């Protein structure tokens, strides 16, 4: 017998807010967290490979020492920024779930930690390579700092979570995969609770230069998901963590429940390292897997991956048209992307967007896609495909919802989808 899995806590640190509520409020207000790359410290040194027209969405003014006793001086020496981001989000999620002051009352061996990162610490890798090349001694913390599982490891130690310890690192699908894996660990009885999500601290000239060479990043500094003028994503960073819990355990301790995780889909395109399958086949299969036996017409909203690339947005649109083709014409499926506001958080994107999807269900509102003015219309787009879904633009839309889906796709051809149901007592 498998357990039902619910969400009881949320924590986030994003380019548009230092908490879940601040991020959510700013998303609905249409605030942009994107700023010129020229505002990054030390940018002048890298101006040639990173032209000033490029935009970034970093967690501005982040300083771990501002969080009081959350970090010791030793923590600040041995923890990379992505781990610090994750700890800030974990603390908020545990407080939100009503667990932080009661951890000793729980069975630590039944509390897991599933936290991933797509790039771990580019900054520490870069600094250490420069030091090594100049003949300087490396720090003994070098290797631990650059390992993708260090956010998970440090959080497990800090909060004494002795259950499953697992790190997903699947490029831009990482956040969704971490949540989906935690969902399955609880369903199968491995744990009663899990902290799950991802963290990314990737805004660095080296990452920007690499993505620019790969022609993934837009040169004009504007993220335009689904828009005719979309030309690539804006690099962002942040962290999102959820407390997942078996329904039985949550009800036994009287927890407030946000939503239920209803399904998880994970597929491979088996097509290309960086480009999606042209017809969106892998994305389609991931969504169908997440829906399982649910009638697609029951889904009210899709929080799309939609990074603002020409091929990626087109493939996802084709996939959604195939999955949700039978939605009635007077009730088209609502679709939006958060990346117009906060850029693409790479591995952390799915975790933060899962939080926003849950907030949409809870508050009955669909955020609009910032910078979406003309849906479709890029060279190669099929005009008909962009008329079968309701792409929310201009302002948020009030909508009573029961089911919402969120997508994340990554390099290597990985596709992931999560289905959430609004909690109803």
Residues 226, 274 share a domain: no
Residues 238, 96 share a domain: yes
Q: Report, in angstroms and rounded to the nearest whole number, the Rg of the chain calculated over CA atoms.
A: 20
Domain assignment present for 394: yes
Residues 6+ apart with CB under 8 A from 21: none
For residue 412, the model assigns a pLDDT of 95
Catalytic residue of the set 50, 167, 172, 202: 172
| CA-closest candidate to residue 151, choices 118, 109, 192, 106 | 118
For residue 102, the model assigns a pLDDT of 93
For residue 53, the model assigns a pLDDT of 86
Domain assignment present for 367: yes
Tally of structural domains, the chain: 2
Residues 336, 203 share a domain: no
Please, what is the angle between helix 150-159 and helix 81-96, to 10°? 40
Give the predicted TM-score (pTM) of the model. 0.97
| CA-closest candidate to residue 234, choices 222, 242, 249, 246 | 222
Q: Give me the CATH number covering residue 284.
A: 3.40.47.10
And the tokens for 313?
């947005």
For residue 328, the model assigns a pLDDT of 83
Provide the residue range defining the domain that includes 87: 5-252
Boundary-marking domain end, from 231, 252, 273: 252
The total number of residues shown for the chain amounts to 425
Residues 6+ apart with CB under 8 A from 213: none
Residues 339, 235 share a domain: no
Domain assignment present for 110: yes
| CA-closest candidate to residue 243, choices 192, 291, 200, 174 | 192
Residues 223, 336 share a domain: no
Residues 143, 44 share a domain: yes
| CA-closest candidate to residue 221, choices 356, 32, 383 | 32
Boundary-marking domain end, from 190, 225, 252: 252
Residues 247, 373 share a domain: no
Specify whether the CB–CB gap between 99 and 250 falls below 8 A: no
Domain assignment present for 42: yes
Catalytic-residue membership of 194: no
Boundary-marking domain end, from 252, 271, 286: 252
Residue 61: is it exposed, middle or buried by C-beta count within 10 angstroms (0-12/13-18/19+)?
exposed
Distance between terminal CA atoms of the chain?
Answer: 22
Domain assignment present for 19: yes
Establish how many alpha carbons lie within 13 A of residue 123's alpha carbon, considering only the half-sphere containing its beta carbon. Answer: 13
Please, what is the angle between helix 20-28 and helix 349-363, to 10°? 70
Beta carbons within 10 angstroms of residue 423's beta carbon: 18
**Sign of the torsion formed by the C-alpha atoms of 353, 268, 177 and 1:** positive
pLDDT, block means (10 residues), the chain with 425 residues: 92 98 98 92 73 90 92 94 98 98 96 97 94 94 95 97 97 98 97 98 92 92 97 97 98 97 97 91 97 95 98 96 88 96 98 98 98 93 88 97 97 97 91
Domain assignment present for 308: yes
Residues 319, 225 share a domain: no
* Paired strand residues for 227: 375
Residues 299, 215 share a domain: no
Residues 271, 205 share a domain: no
Domain assignment present for 272: yes
Residues 354, 269 share a domain: yes
**β-strands 55-57, 235-236: how paired?**
parallel
Domain assignment present for 257: no
Residues 183, 115 share a domain: yes
| CA-closest candidate to residue 238, choices 199, 208, 181 | 199
For residue 1, the model assigns a pLDDT of 62
Please, what is the angle between helix 281-291 and helix 310-323, to 10°? 40
């Amino acid at each position: 017998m498998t357990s039902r899995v619910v969400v009881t806590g949320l924590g986030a640190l994003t380019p548009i807010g230092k908490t879940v509520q601040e991020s959510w409020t700013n998303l609905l207000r249409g605030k942009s967290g994107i700023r010129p790359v020229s505002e990054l410290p030390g940018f002048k040194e890298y101006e040639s490979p990173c032209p000033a027209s490029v935009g970034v969405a970093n967690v501005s003014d982040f300083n771990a020492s501002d969080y009081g006793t959350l970090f010791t001086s030793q923590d600040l020496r041995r923890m990379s920024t992505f781990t610090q981001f994750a700890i800030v989000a974990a603390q908020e999620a545990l407080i939100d779930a009503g667990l932080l002051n009661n951890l000793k009352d729980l069975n630590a061996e039944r509390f897991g930690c599933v936290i991933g990162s797509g790039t771990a610490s580019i900054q520490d890798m870069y600094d250490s390579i420069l030091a090594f090349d100049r003949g300087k001694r490396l720090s003994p913390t070098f290797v631990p700092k650059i390992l993708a599982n260090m956010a998970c490891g440090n959080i497990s130690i800090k909060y004494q979570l002795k259950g499953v310890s697992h790190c997903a690192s699947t490029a831009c699908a990482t956040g969704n995969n971490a949540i989906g894996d935690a969902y399955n660990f609880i369903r199968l009885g491995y744990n009663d609770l899990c902290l799950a999500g991802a963290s990314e601290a990737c805004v660095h000239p080296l990452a920007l230069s690499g993505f620019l060479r790969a022609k993934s990043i837009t040169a004009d500094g504007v993220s335009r998901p689904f828009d005719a003028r979309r030309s690539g994503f804006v690099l962002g960073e942040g962290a999102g963590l959820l407390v997942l819990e078996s329904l039985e355990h949550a009800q036994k301790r009287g927890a407030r429940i946000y939503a239920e995780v209803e399904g998880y889909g994970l597929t491979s395109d088996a097509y290309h390292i960086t480009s999606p399958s042209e017809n969106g086949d892998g994305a389609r299969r991931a969504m169908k897997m997440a829906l399982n036996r649910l009638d697609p017409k029951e889904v009210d909203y899709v929080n799309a991956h939609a990074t603002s690339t020409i091929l990626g947005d087109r493939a996802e649109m084709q996939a959604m048209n195939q999955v949700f083709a039978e939605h009635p014409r007077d009730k088209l499926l609502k679709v939006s992307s958060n990346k117009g506001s906060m850029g693409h958080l790479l591995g952390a994107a799915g975790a933060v967007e899962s939080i926003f999807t849950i907030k949409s269900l809870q508050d009955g509102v669909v955020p609009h896609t910032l910078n979406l003015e003309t849906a479709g219309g890029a060279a190669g787009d099929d005009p008909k495909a962009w008329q079968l879904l309701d792409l929310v633009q201009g302002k948020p839309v009030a909508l009573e919802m029961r089911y919402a889906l969120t997508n994340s796709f990554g390099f290597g051809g990985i596709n992931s989808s999560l289905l959430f149901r609004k909690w109803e007592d």
